[in-house]
Chain A
Amino acid sequence: QVQLRESGPGLVKPSETLFLTCTVSGDSIRNYAWNWIRQSPGKGLEWIGYFYINGSTNSSPSLKSRVTFSVDTSKNQFYLKLRSVSAADTAVYYCARDGVSRASDIWGQGTMVTVSS
C-alpha cells in the first residue's frame, strides 16, 4: 500500500533554513498532488501548501514568502524548504497525499522539528 515517510534534521537554529524530505512508496509521485501540513505542540493543524508534478502549487499566505517546494521523481521524493525559521516554526511536520476525493487521504507519521539555539 502507499506509504509516506518524512525525514529531517530534528533541530534547527533560528534564522536558518529547514529542509524536509517526504519519501513515497507504493505509488508514483507523478500521480497525485502532495501537501505539507504542520502542527505546533498542543495546537491545531496548519496547512503549509501543496504542489503537483506539473508545477502547480499553492501555499499559505502566512508562509508563502519563506516556503519552496521541490521534487525528485527518480527518488520518488518531494521536499519542503522553509527559510528564516523562528521558534514559531517548531512543530510536527506532516506530508500527505491529495486523494481522488481531494482530501488528504494518506499521511506520513510526521517528523518533529524544534527551532532553538
Chain B
Amino acid sequence: DIQMTQSPSTLSASVGDRVTITCRASQSISSWLAWYQQKPGKAPKLLIYKASSLESGVPSRFSGSGSGTQFTLTISSLQPDDLATYHCQQYDSYPWTFGQGTKVEIK
C-alpha cells in the first residue's frame, strides 16, 4: 500500500495568515492526489483534485501543488470558515489511501 504522510498534524494560525500543509507519498503517485476539507461532524468535501485542480465552487484562496511524492495545500489567506481537518488522498493505485489529517485551528 502507498503510505501518505501529512504534516503538521495540527496547526494554529491567525485570520489572514498564509497556511501550508504538506503531504508526502511513500512512492510516486504522479499527480493523482486529492485534498479534502472536513468540518466537525460533517462529511469530507473535495477541494483539489489531480494535485492542483480546484474543484468547482471552492474559493480561490485554496490551491494545490506538487507531483511525484511531495504535495502541498495552501490557503492564501486563512478565514474563520476554514476551521477544519484537511486530508490528502492518493488515487494512483489501489488501495486508495489517505493521510492522517491536519487539523487547522484559528488563533
Contacts of B50 in A (CB 8 A): 101, 103
Decide if A46 touches B89 in the complex (CB within 8 Å).
no
B34 close to A (CB within 8 Å): yes
Segment 33-61 of B: residues with Cβ below 8 Å from A: 34, 36, 42-46, 49-50, 53, 55
With A103-B46, A105-B46 known as contacts, the answer to whether A47 contacts B98 (CB < 8 A) is yes
Question: Secondary structure of the B side of the interface?
Answer: loop
Of A16-24, A74-82, A106-114, the one touching chain B: A106-114
Decide if B34 touches A103 in the complex (CB within 8 Å).
yes
Decide if A109 touches B43 in the complex (CB within 8 Å).
yes
Segment 27-55 of A: residues with Cβ below 8 Å from B: 35, 44-47, 49
A68 to chain B, nearest CB (A): 17
B81 close to A (CB within 8 Å): no
**Distance, CA A102 to CA B51, complexed state (A):** 12
**Distance, CA A45 to CA B36, complexed state (A):** 11
**Distance, CA A31 to CA B104, complexed state (A):** 35
B87 to chain A, nearest CB (A): 6
Interface size class, chain A: 20 to 34
Decide if B43 touches A107 in the complex (CB within 8 Å).
yes
Contacts of B44 in A (CB 8 A): 45, 94, 104, 107
Decide if A101 touches B98 in the complex (CB within 8 Å).
no
Contacts of A109 in B (CB 8 A): 42-43
A99 close to B (CB within 8 Å): yes
With A101-B50, A102-B49 known as contacts, the answer to whether A94 contacts B98 (CB < 8 A) is no
Which of A60, A99, A103, A108 is within 8 Å of B43, CB to CB?
Answer: A108
Decide if A103 touches B87 in the complex (CB within 8 Å).
no
A-B contact pairs, 30 of them (CB 8 A): A44-B87, A44-B100, A44-B101, A45-B36, A46-B98, A47-B89, A47-B96, A47-B97, A47-B98, A58-B94, A61-B95, A99-B46, A99-B49, A101-B34, A101-B50, A101-B53, A102-B49, A102-B91, A103-B34, A103-B46, A103-B49, A103-B50, A104-B44, A104-B46, A105-B46, A105-B49, A105-B55, A107-B45, A108-B43, A109-B42
